[in-house]
Chain A
Amino acid sequence: MNRFDYVRPASIAEAIAAAAEPGSAYLASGTNLLDLMKGNVVRPARLVDLNHLPGLDGIELLPDGGARIGARVRNADLAYHPEFSRRFPAVAEALLSGASAQLRNAATVGGNLLQRTCCAYFYDPASACNKRDPGAGCDARGGENRLHAVLGWSERCIATHPSDFCVPLAAFGAVVEIEGQFGRREVPLEEFHLLPGETPERESVLAPGELVVALRLPAEAAGFAAHARYVKLRERTSYAFAVVSAAAGLRLENGVIAEARLALGGVAAKPWRARAAEAALAGARPDAASFRRAAEAALAEAAPSGDNAFKIELARRVAARALLLAAAGTPERLPALPASAFAPVPGASLHG
């Protein structure tokens, strides 16, 4: 780990001024940042510690049915908040399917949004990586890339965003509250992360010094609470990143879908909201045929970036599975294995 200067600001304004200096990074819990620093993947000259700032750790349940979550709220505290998980069960399920209990006790909401990709070439300073070292090239192209992106990738970068939490946030229209040197602004989560294009080193809309202070879930997101699920396919039962995942929500009226939400994880450099699939489901019957059509619409523009063509069909099936599980209804209590792809699907076979 490189040497760095340590700054403990007394206010958000002080934090922003300190972090606007080149080479600075914010420190929340550090579960991702310290790991990257130990691997010499990132080498910040200065850490601006957010852990002693007041006002960033509240969970506010808004009277209109929405919620406002401070950026330093710990993943576990949000997931186990009874009223939050009642209103937004797919968000709680996604949180509990991520990382380990120890990491969820430490890791923050803001840090989750800003965690870096789990691409092994990004993590290995001896490999070429345009994200870590702009212009260096990309060893993931033509390398071990079976888990890389199938949507929104570029010749420069085929890495995926590793978050589970962000997938239902994208599906349910979360808004990111940002504070910076020039004031406060809000960005829909769907627009917060950037696709790689020519500049894969730019991963979000944040300008230097800008700080995520809170997240908001709008009231209409709670309208899906009765039919909201997250499904995550991973290479071992627990404590693994998603190969592909999907968050699904349905609003059913008189046996038909009044409104649907669908977002995919593990497929792109950002959580992937599948608006074409949502449009295809409006007015449809909540059955396997409708869900398969929606899943095909969601992946219509997908293309392999290497040895990962299998992920496209896998993502269709996981999307359809999440929609089927959502249609069957949110369980009273989250299952023992949150978001498991092997949970029984009521009225349907596990395969196919």
Chain B
Amino acid sequence: MSLPITLTVNGVPQRIVLDDPRVTLLDLLRERLDLTGTKKGCDRGQCGACTILVDGRRVNSCLALAISHDGAEITTIEGLARDGELHPVQAAFIAHDAFQCGFCTPGQIMSAVGLIAEGQAGTDPERVREGMSGNLCRCAAYRGITEAVIEAQETMGQAGRQEAA
């Protein structure tokens, strides 16, 4: 069975022919497009390591069939930096030591970008922790992660205001 789809991945339109409808977005990114920044942790939607943005919303790419996302716009960790400059969430994760082994970090960062775009948590640490509960960190860098998300939110808010001014 030959199943053609189109996806825009980190701004680049891609035409992909799937030979099997079972391929998830996670496996497509890692195995077909060589974008291995997105990690496969549990592969069952429980750990959040595979978090990506689909049409601007954070989702678990392990529980998304590529075939049913024909036409979608995908952003992965590889698509965040602009012109060699880290995204504010990436910079904040480094500044706050928000990781140890780093395996969950791409998923944490993509989830944080999604959370900030949703605009529901603000800078309330409890709302940030609740909003990030779909991302597990076995090294337990949660404190740094929460601080990084709050700082990135503040940085991005200021940048937004400057652009608007």
Binding site for B on A (CB under 8 A): 1, 3-6, 27, 29-31, 34-35, 38-39, 47, 49, 51-52, 76, 80, 99-103, 105-106, 237-239, 336-338
Pairwise interchain contact B58-A52, C-beta atoms closer than 8 A: no
Pairwise interchain contact A239-B134, C-beta atoms closer than 8 A: yes
Contacts of A101 in B (CB 8 A): 58, 111, 114-115, 118, 131-134
Work out how many contacts link A and B, with CB atoms closer than 8 A: 93
> Once bound together, how far apart are the Cα atoms of A31 and B118, in whole Å?
20
> Once bound together, how far apart are the Cα atoms of A238 and B63, in whole Å?
20
Contacts of B67 in A (CB 8 A): 6, 49
Beyond the given pairs A35-B63, A101-B134, A338-B130, 5 more chain A to chain B contacts, judged by CB atoms under 8 angstroms and listed by A's residue number, are A1-B22, A101-B115, A101-B118, A102-B59, A336-B130
Pairwise interchain contact B111-A102, C-beta atoms closer than 8 A: yes
**Scoring B residues 1 to 34 as 1 if CB is less than 8 Å from chain A, else 0, what string do you get?**
1010000000000000000111010000000000
Contacts of A1 in B (CB 8 A): 22
Pairwise interchain contact A38-B133, C-beta atoms closer than 8 A: no
**Of all chain B residues, which has the CB nearest A238?**
B133
- What are the 5 A-B residue pairs with the smallest beta carbon separation, nearest first? A100-B134, A238-B133, A6-B21, A336-B126, A239-B133
Shortest distance from the beta carbon of B62 to any chain A beta carbon, whole Å: 8
Contacts of B64 in A (CB 8 A): 29-30, 34, 106
Pairwise interchain contact A30-B60, C-beta atoms closer than 8 A: no
Interface size classification for chain B: 35 or more
Contacts of A3 in B (CB 8 A): 20, 22
**Of all chain A residues, which has the CB nearest B52?**
A102
- Residue B48 interfacial (CB < 8 Å): yes
Pairwise interchain contact B22-A102, C-beta atoms closer than 8 A: no
Contacts of A47 in B (CB 8 A): 21
Contacts of A102 in B (CB 8 A): 45, 48, 51, 58-60, 111, 114, 134
- Residue B158 interfacial (CB < 8 Å): no
**Of all chain A residues, which has the CB nearest B44?**
A35
> Once bound together, how far apart are the Cα atoms of A80 and B118, in whole Å?
10
> Once bound together, how far apart are the Cα atoms of A238 and B134, in whole Å?
9
Shortest distance from the beta carbon of A44 to any chain B beta carbon, whole Å: 11
Contacts of B21 in A (CB 8 A): 4-6, 47
Q: A35 contacts which of B45, B57, B69 (Cβ < 8 Å)?
A: B45
Shortest distance from the beta carbon of B145 to any chain A beta carbon, whole Å: 14
Contacts of B65 in A (CB 8 A): 27, 30, 34
